[in-house]
Structure 1
Amino acid sequence: MLGKSLHRYNWLALILLTAGVALVQYPSGDSPAKTTAHHDASDNVMGLAAVLAACFSSGFAGVYFEKILKTSKVSLWIRNIQLAFFSVFGSLFVCWLYDWQAINDDGFLRGYNGIIWIVVLLQAYGGLVIALVVKYADNILKGFAVSLSIILSSFTSWLVLGDLTITTTFAVGATIVIFATFLYGHEPKKNPVAHDA
């Protein structure tokens, strides 16, 4: 769609990134009180199909968004306003469907405090940063940035909150993700062109 080709190092980096993120998010063996449930093969196939559909639709949306941002004459800020404008209707519908009585009784901003406003502002800032990354870099780099943010937030959770146990699987996955990030940025050396004198 974008008329772009990837080098074999880039493809290897993407495969390693997928494997690394899967390892980082793999549940640890010491999770409390696992409930055992019987799943047949159709559940596994349905789950795999749902994950693949989500991956392909998300990937297509990301590439299409990048194409729109890079080929359109409309500014990045107007595009963000357009996206936000259409998402408002869905959000208002869900609020009306589930929380109409509470909103009617206590107002739309019931329960909002300083922490909630910080989260709202961080989410808005994150959306603007992602749009800038997609416009001036590409959608693949956004995927690497999100993967690194998963590792950093997990590490911060372990260091600050103490609610994560660093396992060997997590360490190996984090190492693979970091290596894949550097590999994707690697530019192979080009053979010098011989000039005739």
Structure 2
Amino acid sequence: MAQELETSTTLKYASLLTLTVQNTLLIVSMRYSRLVPPEQRYITTTAVVFSEFAKMCVCLLIIFFREKTFKEFVKTLHHHLIEEWKDTLKMSVPAIVYMIQNNLQYVAVSNLEAAVFQVTYQLKILTTALFSVLLLSKKLSGAQWGSLVILFVGVAFVQVQGGGTSKVNTTDQNQIVGLIAVIVSCLSSGFAGVYFEMMLKGSNVSVWMRNVQLGMFGSITAILGVLLKDYDTIQKNGYFVGYSPLVWIVISQQAFGGLIVALVVRYADNILKGFATSLSIILSCIAAVFLFDYFITPFFAIGAVFVMVAIYLYGKPRAQQPTSPLLADKKDQDEQLPIKKLTPT
């Protein structure tokens, strides 16, 4: 028992540390990969295709090792993807939304400073909360609603005067386009995340199989995005124009990011996840100072503090009311009844 507890604790903090590092490196590396002349930049829609395909392949490998034999592996895939095709088709909805979100992230980091994007993108907590209330009938405490207000205030401070200054050439950046991209990306993230939670809670299908279904539809929608948006550019410059080792690193980080979050949800809790996200914001700001000659203004510093406080308050568990001895027996009986619980997103 003690060994199982120790293992669970180790996995908890290992997944949180990995999430913090991955979240920090992803935004910084995405921003750094776009700091080239426009004619030398890679086509972001092609990167999304590779990211979706890589995520699907990793999940297929995990399922294969879980099933242990190739025969069982094929049988499992046939059951979930072919026999249960109606259930699989439902995953096309978040796949399309995630494809939109991934493309908008590239648009945002191409038009905003890495630190500004990192803080502003925390609006996804607000959108996730709103969609949870609408789709899952989730109840939020007064402190959680208050944290959402604080989040709005913090983001407003960050956006004042662009959040900070940088010596990096920003003549080809558009702050308005970047902000709109972040807001729509947050809406996409909130809806897709809550929809995905609904699918997980409504069946016994593993998170890895769900990610295979997501990757399957995500790859198709991403390819359609390439053809509709950048077909002429690819015909002129080629599919791999602007690709470098750093671009492949960005693709890998984006592909594995969702898998890391799944581990955090499995082994950690929301308050610790909030601390990990807050820490990644601080690390991103520090990295931007050294990598991009970024100068943090007082408005940005105040806004970042507000956002981190909001994240903490939103993930803070509610205080439990003391139970009187007279109600103890009734409580024990109630706890034996099956209750559908919704975990915070």
Paired residue for 2:287? Answer: 156
Indicate the SS of the match to 2:152. Answer: helix
Structure 2: runs of 5 or more not aligned: 1-134, 327-345
Paired residue for 1:20? Answer: 154
Relative distance call for 1:71 and 1:137 in structure 2 (3 A) is farther
Relative distance call for 1:133 and 1:18 in structure 2 (3 A) is farther
| Mapping 1:107-118, distance limit 5 Å | 108-109=239-240, 111-118=242-249
> How many Å apart are 1:135 and its aligned residue?
6.8
* AA partner of residue 9 (structure 1): A
> How many Å apart are 1:100 and its aligned residue?
3.3
**Residue 210 of structure 2 corresponds to residue 76 of structure 1:** no
* AA partner of residue 180 (structure 1): A
1:189 to 319, 323, 332: 319
Paired residue for 2:144? Answer: 10
Give me the whole-angstrom Cα distance separating, in 1, the residues matched to 2:300 and 2:322. Answer: 42
> How many Å apart are 1:111 and its aligned residue?
5.0
Would the aligned equivalents of 1:66 and 1:138 in 2 still touch at CA under 8 Å? Answer: no
Give me the whole-angstrom Cα distance separating, in 2, the residues matched to 1:180 and 1:61. Answer: 22
| Mapping 1:112-131, distance limit 5 Å | 112-131=243-262
Would the aligned equivalents of 2:158 and 2:299 in 1 still touch at CA under 8 Å? Answer: yes
Would the aligned equivalents of 1:66 and 1:134 in 2 still touch at CA under 8 Å? Answer: no
Per-residue deviation, residues 57-78 of structure 1 (Å, max 9, x unmatched): 5433321122112333221112
Indicate the SS of the match to 1:85. Answer: helix
Relative distance call for 1:5 and 1:29 in structure 2 (3 A) is closer
Would the aligned equivalents of 1:63 and 1:139 in 2 still touch at CA under 8 Å? Answer: no
Paired residue for 1:170? Answer: 300
> How many Å apart are 1:83 and its aligned residue?
1.4
Would the aligned equivalents of 1:70 and 1:135 in 2 still touch at CA under 8 Å? Answer: no
Would the aligned equivalents of 1:130 and 1:142 in 2 still touch at CA under 8 Å? Answer: no
Give me the whole-angstrom Cα distance separating, in 2, the residues matched to 1:192 and 1:13. Answer: 25
By percentage of residues, which structure has more helix?
Answer: 2
> How many Å apart are 1:53 and its aligned residue?
6.9
* AA partner of residue 235 (structure 2): W
Would the aligned equivalents of 2:166 and 2:292 in 1 still touch at CA under 8 Å? Answer: no
Relative distance call for 1:6 and 1:130 in structure 2 (3 A) is same
- TM-score normalised by L of structure 1: 0.67
Deviates more, 1:164-173 or 1:15-24: 15-24
Per-residue deviation, residues 86-122 of structure 1 (Å, max 9, x unmatched): 122233334442313544xxxx556544222222211
Give me the whole-angstrom Cα distance separating, in 1, the residues matched to 2:252 and 2:184. Answer: 31
> How many Å apart are 1:149 and its aligned residue?
3.9
**Residue 196 of structure 2 corresponds to residue 65 of structure 1:** yes
Would the aligned equivalents of 1:69 and 1:135 in 2 still touch at CA under 8 Å? Answer: no
Paired residue for 1:41? Answer: none
For CA contacts below 8 A with separation 6 or more, give which structure has more relative contact order: 1
Would the aligned equivalents of 2:270 and 2:316 in 1 still touch at CA under 8 Å? Answer: no
Relative distance call for 1:110 and 1:22 in structure 2 (3 A) is same
Give me the whole-angstrom Cα distance separating, in 2, the residues matched to 1:139 and 1:61. Answer: 19
Relative distance call for 1:177 and 1:128 in structure 2 (3 A) is same
Relative distance call for 1:28 and 1:49 in structure 2 (3 A) is closer
Structure 1: runs of 5 or more not aligned: 36-43
Paired residue for 1:179? Answer: 309
Would the aligned equivalents of 1:24 and 1:151 in 2 still touch at CA under 8 Å? Answer: no
1:100 to 235, 238, 246: 235
Paired residue for 1:38? Answer: none
Relative distance call for 1:143 and 1:64 in structure 2 (3 A) is farther
